[in-house]
């Protein structure tokens, strides 16, 4: 299973998450610039996490106390290859923005680093005498995934699944996707599976994330972080939105869903692409929101409802929901203003 994206949009630009991705890429480019010789090997030994640097007196004598302490953090910015970097950064990109959105920028940075630290400590506990360098952000990212599991269990993860040789895309509930991922990490770790992967580091990071998320979502924000959040507030909702319509009642031929906008989009107008799952298909429509939307609206997509006994098909009614600027919550608006619908992109 390979995750493509989640269905929970963030209300703020993930400043710290993007910065972490940028640092990881930059460090990897520095590694690649060293080639495959002794310089790269010495770099990895110096900054990678090696349990024996702490537990073996003969090896520890070659490193200062600063070197030993720093490796608990520096290892999470090194990677063993391009695919290693790509898989880690992609997972961080998918899950990190939402966790940062909930925690705030400063708290998220501290949370990420502590999850990486916890993964290193866990790896040390289960590999006390290992002289093999451990590198990669996966332990810290596992902590982000653990936090995501608790914060957004009902989110859905669009996932690429290979059935023999045929790829299919399915939306999997986050609690199932992440729960299965953690179960596999634990089974591989407990079963002694190596394969060059620090399984216990993943387990430790994930559990640390599930514990620390309660601390970092309750810790008061500092003034700088509150100011920064105002500047990173998104002024628009995602252009592409997935709507899963529900029936209104046994005798009601209409289907009902919701569309999310911000106050700025209500004021200036916007166009949204609405993706509507329909059996094994997904129909795509363009919804036009005119400028000047002040108190709310109902959007009607004619003929997309259920077939009534009279032979006439009902409509799909979309309720506009307004995202509050300060906290990312959604607030329903009263229905009043009519809007236009453009169905030229229909399936």
Q: Over 203-259, what HEC string results?
A: HHHHHHHHHHHHHHCCCCCCHHHHHHHHHCECCCCCCEEECCCEECCCCCCCEEEEE
Distance CA 230, CA 220 (A): 16
pLDDT: which is higher, 75 or 236: 75
Q: Give the range with max mean pLDDT: 42-56, 188-202, 215-229.
A: 42-56
- Report residue 111 as tokens: 């949370």
- Region 249-272: mean pLDDT is 83
Angle between helices 82-103 and 138-151 (to 10 degrees): 40
Distance CA 303, CA 204 (A): 52
Per-residue pLDDT at 170: 84
- Region 290-305: mean pLDDT is 76
Per-residue pLDDT at 294: 60
Distance CA 26, CA 35 (A): 15
3-state secondary structure of 291: coil
Report the range of poorest mean pLDDT among 85-89, 172-176, 202-206, 280-284: 280-284
Question: What share of the chain in percent tops pLDDT 70?
Answer: 90
CB 25 within 8 A of CB 89: yes
- Region 12-41: mean pLDDT is 93
Per-residue pLDDT at 246: 85
SS3 of the chain: helix, strand, coil, percent, to 5:
45, 20, 30
Per-residue pLDDT at 334: 38
- In this prediction the pTM is 0.78
Q: How confident is the model at residue 218 (pLDDT cuts 50, 70, 90)?
A: confident
Which domains are seen in the chain, by residue range?
2-231 (1.20.1540.10), 240-342 (2.60.260.20)
- Alpha carbon 332 to its chain centroid, in Å, reads 25
Tens digit of each residue's pLDDT (9 = 90 or more) over 83-130:
999 999 999 999 999 999 999 999 999 999 999 999 999 999 999 989
Per-residue pLDDT at 296: 61
Mean residue pLDDT across the chain = 85
CB 213 within 8 A of CB 151: yes
């Amino acid at each position: 299973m390979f995750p493509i994206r989640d269905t929970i949009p963030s209300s703020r630009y993930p400043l710290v998450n993007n910065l972490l991705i940028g640092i990881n890429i930059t460090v990897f480019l520095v590694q690649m610039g060293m080639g495959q010789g002794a310089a790269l090997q010495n770099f990895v030994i110096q900054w990678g996490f090696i349990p024996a640097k702490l537990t073996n007196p003969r090896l520890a004598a070659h490193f200062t106390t600063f070197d030993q302490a720093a490796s608990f953090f520096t290892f999470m910015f090194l990677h063993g290859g391009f695919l290693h970097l790509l898989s880690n950064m992609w997972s961080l990109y998918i899950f990190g923005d939402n966790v940062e959105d909930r925690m705030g920028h400063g708290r998220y940075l501290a949370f990420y680093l502590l999850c990486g630290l916890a993964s290193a400590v866990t790896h040390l506990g289960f590999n006390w005498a290992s002289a093999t360098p451990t590198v990669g952000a996966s332990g810290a990212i596992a902590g982000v995934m653990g936090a995501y599991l608790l914060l957004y269990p009902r989110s859905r993860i669009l996932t690429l699944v290979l059935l023999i040789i045929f790829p299919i895309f399915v939306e999997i509930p986050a609690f199932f996707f992440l729960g299965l991922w953690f179960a596999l990490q634990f089974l591989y770790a407990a079963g002694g599976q190596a394969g060059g992967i620090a399984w216990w580091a993943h387990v430790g990071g994930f559990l640390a994330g599930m514990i620390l998320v309660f601390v970092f979502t309750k810790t008061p924000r500092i003034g700088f972080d509150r100011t920064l959040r105002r500047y990173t507030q998104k002024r628009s909702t995602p252009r592409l939105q997935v709507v899963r319509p529900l029936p209104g009642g046994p005798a009601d031929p209409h289907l009902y869903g919701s569309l999310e906008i911000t106050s700025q989009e209500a004021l200036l107008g916007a166009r949204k692409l609405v993706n509507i799952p329909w059996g094994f298909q997904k129909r795509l429509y363009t919804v036009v929101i005119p400028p000047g939307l002040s108190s709310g609206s109902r959007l009607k997509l004619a003929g997309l409802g259920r077939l009534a006994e009279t032979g006439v098909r009902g409509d799909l009614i979309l309720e506009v929901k307004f995202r509050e600027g300060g906290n990312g919550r959604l607030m329903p608006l009263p229905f009043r203003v009519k809007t236009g619908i453009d169905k030229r992109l229909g399936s």
